A = this chain, B = another copy of it.
């Protein structure tokens, strides 16, 4: 149990291992102390999805408090926010206590994650008390512990992915630091050269200030040039003076922007790959280890080898996956016990977690409900004609043309009543399309989990219908459009057009790769949230209230200088950036986003430096280093890796085995089934030709099996399979201690292919 508790995800192998203990316990065989049925039930409860969802809910409530705390978007009294915060802390604490219950004591206390959470809870409580006490005595202090809130997001066991990225960043730091120092050395050298070359020329910038005379300012200007934000302005005075000086800046940009920034990407990417590979290897070995542990609990001697009896195997699967059908379980058994010997050997048992992970969809060959209720009407000549029409390629093309015409109408003027009537026509056409499709195809198949585009279409159309009706009724009631509803109507109308992408096969392939990246992007979103949140909290403490936004026609004092005379004649005020401030958390996030995009960040940095102190620039430089040099490069590494894994995607061994078995069992398919099969094939053309997908069917007591699309897999799962394909089935892998201490440079097992590939 100790290994399972160390890093508790809801993985199949953990459940299997736990279930093996439960099963074992029920039959009163050798029960170790710490795996009493009660402990296992607690463990199950800990891993239940409701508990995990609740934890996430409170983590986000805690983070979201910043919206209501001073400086607030919607100000709430301190008492309210602090009570909610205490509630969150209580939830975190009880979650931690629960975790301690299902974990051996020494493992729990060795884990830095738990220590981190405890310290964060304690520190937050202390800060709350101090701040509250000072507030009562009317002294304003800083709620500095808000800075620590993302710690809960990182350190709860569920955020394994985000933690891995942070580990990867930590591992990359030494190497990136040396490259960064070399890069800074280069910037400093070029600045020195610039000072000597241009300092005595009496040149002036566009604003009329002296050009390149102060060393520190030159360093800042050239650092900004690395980010390209002040190109070509920073070059123009020198370039105007002499053509030759442009060579200085071109050399600078080539070395520092192109060369060094690419080197940063290379270093980050290389480390990301190296550590990802190592983590995947650990996971794969850990899985194998747990499966062998489960096998050892259940094994009985059969002839010369140890095996798991069929009855026990079935009990186990029922415990772990109570909602899969009997026939699905039969299928899995047939795959695990190919020769139908009545037991499962070690090699097949170890694959069980993977088998359970494969989404084998058991589909009943269902007749259309209408055919069931009124077969006469549904199979009439008219109905058959409609159905064949809908299945025809021309149907798709017709609707593509309709979408294009719709696009033109959207671009035209809204005020013309004819055009606003046309909108109703298009909406009805789209609704008609969905109704026809549902009429033709089996509705349960049409709205199957994997039918992404059907779901997308239908929800967009329904939302558009509701919004349009709402808008129309508001208009007739109050004679004017509700702006919010209208905005939503506009967006939905345009989103409807996206569907045209799905009709062109090449686009579909790219779209599927992009959709595949989404889970990885969510991890990245978590990472970005943590960093943004911390910088936003600091930014608000540093800059809140320094810059004010006034509406266009405001007559307030210094309205044009964002309410701060220090900004008079600054680029910041002239570009009307007043709304880019740190006066609440939403504005802070927008400003940080702008800083991430990099362009004009020096204008923002200079603006905030003017209203506070020149040292404020350090905040912006720090943000640039952390976010643009580290985080964005990790994002690019994410996407590159996801793409390359997609490209080198091969069917995994386990999957092939189950497919083969489905095919084997399905020998002798009837003519009539083929027709049904064709129907489903036709309906799913959008998936069929995606290369990575397989649809296989098997009639067995009216059931068809189909391996769910590979679309929604994560890069991790793919990499893990690539690696597992290389561990020999007989290989038991290293011990738990060895697994946990694996480093990227260890070659265990000697595995050149995987190492060079990932």
Residues in B with CB closer than 8 Å to A389 are none
Tell me, yes or no, whether A215 is within 8 Å of chain B by CB.
yes
Q: Residue A193 at the B interface, CB < 8 A?
A: yes
Residue of B nearest to A578 (CB): B240
Chain A 634-655 against B: per-residue CB contact (8 Å), 1 yes, 0 no?
A: 0110011001100110000000
Q: In the complex the two chains form, is B599's CB within 8 Å of A232's CB?
A: yes
**Partner among B206, B594, B639, B753 whose Cβ is within 8 Å of the Cβ of A753:** B753
Alpha-carbon separation in the docked complex, A418 to B490 (Å): 73
Q: Complex Cα distance A70/B206, Å?
A: 31
* A240 in complex: contacting residue of B228, B498, B579, CB < 8 Å: B579
Q: Counting CB contacts under 8 A, is A410 at the interface? A: yes
Report if A60 contacts B (CB, 8 A): no
B265:A598 contact, CB within 8 angstroms: no
- Answer yes or no: A185 CB below 8 A from chain B CBs: yes
For A197, the chain B residues whose CB sits under 8 A away are 487, 490-491
CA distance A100 to B444 in the complex (A): 70
Chain A 174-213 interface 0/1 with B at a Cβ cutoff of 8 Å (1 = within):
0000110110010001001101110010001010000000
Is A380 located at the chain interface by the 8 A CB criterion?
no
Q: How many copies does the complex hold?
A: 2
Q: State whether the Cβ of A507 lies closer than 8 Å to any Cβ in chain B.
A: yes
- Quick one: CB contact mask for A219-249 with B, threshold 8 Å, 1 for yes? 0000000001111110110011001001000
A719-758 interface code vs B (CB 8 A; 1 in, 0 out): 0000000000000000000000000000000001100110
Q: How far is the CB of A320 from chain B (nearest CB, A)?
A: 34
User: Which among B267, B494, B506, B635 is the interface contact of A262 at CB below 8 angstroms?
Assistant: B635
Docked pose: A253 CA to B598 CA in angstroms: 12
Contact partners of A200 in chain B: CB under 8 A: 414
Whether B266 contacts A643 by the Cβ 8 Å rule is yes
Chain B nearest Cβ from A3, distance in angstroms? 31
Q: State whether B262 touches A640 (Cβ < 8 A).
A: yes
Task: Give the docked Cα–Cα distance between A262 and B642 (Å).
Answer: 11
The B-contacting residues of A in range 144-180, CB under 8 angstroms, are 178-179
Given the interface pairs A193-B491, A597-B228, the reply to whether A270 lies near B233 with Cβ below 8 Å is no
Is A514's CB within 8 Å of the partner chain B? yes
A497, CB-defined interface residue at 8 Å: yes
Q: Do B510 and A179 touch (CB < 8 A)?
A: yes
Q: How far is the CA of A235 from the CA of B196 in the complex (A)?
A: 39
A511 to B182, CA, bound (A): 9
- B494→A233 contact, CB < 8 A: no
Q: Does A47 contact B (CB under 8 A)?
A: no
A363-378 interface bits toward B, Cβ cutoff 8 Å, 1 = contact, 0 = none: 0000000000000000
Tell me the bound Cα distance from A270 to B647 in angstroms. Answer: 9
By the criterion CB–CB under 8 Å, are A250 and B510 in contact?
no
Q: How far is the CA of A636 from the CA of B637 in the complex (A)?
A: 13
Which residues on B sit within 8 Å (CB–CB) of A626? none
Task: Tell me, in angstroms, the Cα distance from A196 to B215 when the chains sit together.
Answer: 49
Q: Which of B230, B243, B259, B579 contacts A239 (CB 8 A)?
A: B579
CB contacts (< 8 Å) of A507 on chain B: these are 178, 181-182, 185
State which of B228, B270, B493, B600 has its C-beta within 8 Å of the C-beta of A644.
Answer: B270
Least distance between A152 CB and chain B CB atoms (Å):
25
Contact residue among B265, B493, B577 (Cβ-Cβ distance under 8 Å from A636): B265
Chain B residues whose CB sits within 8 angstroms of the CB of A570 once the complex forms: none
Q: Does A51 touch B at the CB level, under 8 Å? A: no
Contact (Cβ within 8 A) B599 A196? no
- Min CB distance, A328 to chain B, in Å? 34
The answer on a CB contact under 8 Å between B182 and A577 is no
Query: Which residues of the partner chain B approach A263 to less than 8 Å between Cβ atoms?
Result: 510, 514, 639, 643
Judge whether A233 and B552 touch: CB under 8 Å.
Answer: no
* In the complex, A269 has a CB within 8 A of chain B: yes
Cα separation A506 to B204 with both chains bound (whole Å): 40
Answer whether residue A54 sits at the interface, using C-beta atoms and an 8 A cutoff: no
Task: List residues of chain B with CB within 8 A of the CB of A552.
Answer: 204, 240
**Interchain CB contact (< 8 A) of A215 among B228, B265, B411:** B411
The contact string, 1 if C-beta is below 8 Å from chain B, for chain A 259-275, is 10011011101100000
Please give, as numbers and ranges, the residues of chain B lying within 8 Å of A240 by CB-CB distance.
Answer: 549, 551-552, 576, 579
Contact assessment for B236 and A593 in the assembled complex, using a CB-CB cutoff below 8 Å:
no
Can you give 9 A-B contacts (C-beta < 8 A)?
A182-B501, A182-B507, A182-B511, A196-B414, A232-B600, A236-B580, A258-B632, A262-B635, A599-B599
| Given A193-B494, A258-B635, 6 new contacts (CB under 8 A) | A181-B507, A192-B411, A193-B491, A232-B580, A267-B643, A270-B647
- Using a CB–CB cutoff of 8 Å, the interface residues on chain A facing chain B are 178-179, 181-182, 185, 189, 192-193, 195-197, 200, 204, 206, 215, 228-233, 235-236, 239-240, 243, 246, 250, 253, 257-259, 262-263, 265-267, 269-270, 407, 410-411, 414, 487, 490-491, 493-494, 497-498, 501, 506-507, 510-511, 514, 517, 521, 549, 551-552, 574-577, 579-580, 586-587, 590, 593-594, 597-600, 632, 635-636, 639-640, 643-644, 647-648, 752-753, 756-757
Question: Which are the 5 A-B pairs with shortest beta-carbon distances?
Answer: A756-B757, A266-B643, A196-B490, A262-B639, A232-B594
